[in-house]
Amino acid sequence: MIDCINLTKQYDGLTAVDAVTFSVKEGELFGLIGPDGAGKSTIFRMLTTLVLPDGGAATVQGFDIVADYKKIRHQVGYMPAKFSLYQDLTVQENLDFFATIFNTTIEENYDLIHDIYIQIAPFKARRAGDLSGGMKQKLALCCALIHQPKVLFLDEPTTGVDAVSRQEFWQMLQRLKAQGMTILVSTPYMDEANLCERIALMQTGKMMSIDTPDGIVSQYQGDLFAVQSNAMSRLLRDLRAYEYVKNCFAFGDFHHFNFSNIGEGQVPLLLNYLNGLGHEALICEKIRPTIEDCFIQLMQ
C-alpha cells in the first residue's frame, strides 16, 4: 500500500529525510518511531503530497506521490501532528464540513466511524477548541476517516494526550486495523512501538532498523542488565566508572547497562565493586531489552 525507495527531503542544506526505503503492506499497522526532529512528519508530508521530495520515489496505493498527487489526496486519511481542525466550529460542524468536502455524509460512513463517533457525540455542540486533548484526537481521527480511506496517516496522534486516552486511541487503531485499514502511525513514545505490527526506528532522517517489535528486540547485541541500589544517582556514576561497563543509563526505577566484554560472569565482580563503594540493597538481573534499549544501542 505504501512503497518508498530512497525518499529524501532537504531543507536549507539540512537532510530531514535521508534516503529512506520501506514498505507498508495492505492492512498493516506500521509505526515510525523516533524522537523530535527524526524526520517522521516530513515523511508524512511527502506521502500525503503536501511537500515534494528532493530525491527517491514513493507510491501510495500504487499512485506516485508526485505525478498522481490528486488521486492520493482523495484516497487517504491524514491526521497531522498539529491539531488542524477548525477550533471555532463545533464537533458536529467539523464533521459535517469534512464530510461535505469529500462529497459524502456521516451516515454513509457510519460503520467505520461509529465506534469513535459515539465517544464524541455527547460533545457534539461543543467548539473543537474547547475539547480536551484526547477528545480533540478522537474528533481529528473521525474527520480523517469520514471518506472511508484505505490508508490512514497518523502523525504523532497521542503526543500530549493523557495515558488513558492514549490507551483508548490505540484500541481504536486496533479495531480499524481489524476492519482492514492500512495504518502508518508515528510516535516518539517507545512503549507504543509494541502496539504496531512492524516498526521503523528513526533518528536524524535515517531508518536505523525495520522489523517487528520482537524482531528488533532479538537483534539486541549482548546481554542487558537492570541494577538498583539505595543510592541511584551515585550508582549511575559508579557503574559508568567501572572498567567493563560499556553503556549505562537511567531507566525508571533501575539503571540499564551492558558489559564491554563477557556477559553474566561479570555480575559477581561488579557487585563486589559496588558493595565496596558502600551501595546497599543491590539488585542486579539480566533482562529482556525494551524497544528503547534497542534504540539506544542502535544510536550508539
**Shortest Å distance, C-beta 158 to ligand ATP:** 12
Is residue 33 a contact residue for ligand ATP (CB under 6 A)?
no
11 binds ligand ATP (CB under 6 A): yes
Least distance between ligand ATP and beta carbon 12 (Å): 6
Q: Is 41 a residue that touches ligand ATP (CB under 6 A)?
A: yes
Decide if residue 8 touches ligand ATP (CB under 6 A): no
Nearest approach, Cβ of residue 166 and ligand ATP (Å): 16
Single out the residue of 22, 40, 153, 158 in contact with ligand ATP (rule: CB under 6 A). Answer: 40
Q: How far is the CB of 152 from ligand ATP (least distance, A)?
A: 17
The DSSP code sequence of 143-182 is HHHTT--SEEEESSTTTT--HHHHHHHHHHHHHHHHTT-E
Cβ proximity to ligand ATP: between 166 and 255 the closer is: 166
Q: Name the residue nearer to ligand ATP (CB basis): 18 or 293.
A: 18
Q: Whole-number minimum distance, CB 66 to ligand ATP, in Å?
A: 18
Q: Is 199 in the site for ligand ATP (CB under 6 A)?
A: no
Determine, following the binding rule CB under 6 A, whether residue 53 of this chain makes contact with ligand ATP: no
Of the two residues 36 and 253, which places its CB atom closer to ligand ATP in the complex? 36
Residue 38 binding ligand ATP, by CB under 6 A = yes
Examine residue 13 and tell whether it contacts ligand ATP (CB under 6 A). no
Which residues make up the interface to ligand ATP (CB under 6 A)?
11-12, 14, 16, 34, 36-42, 81, 156
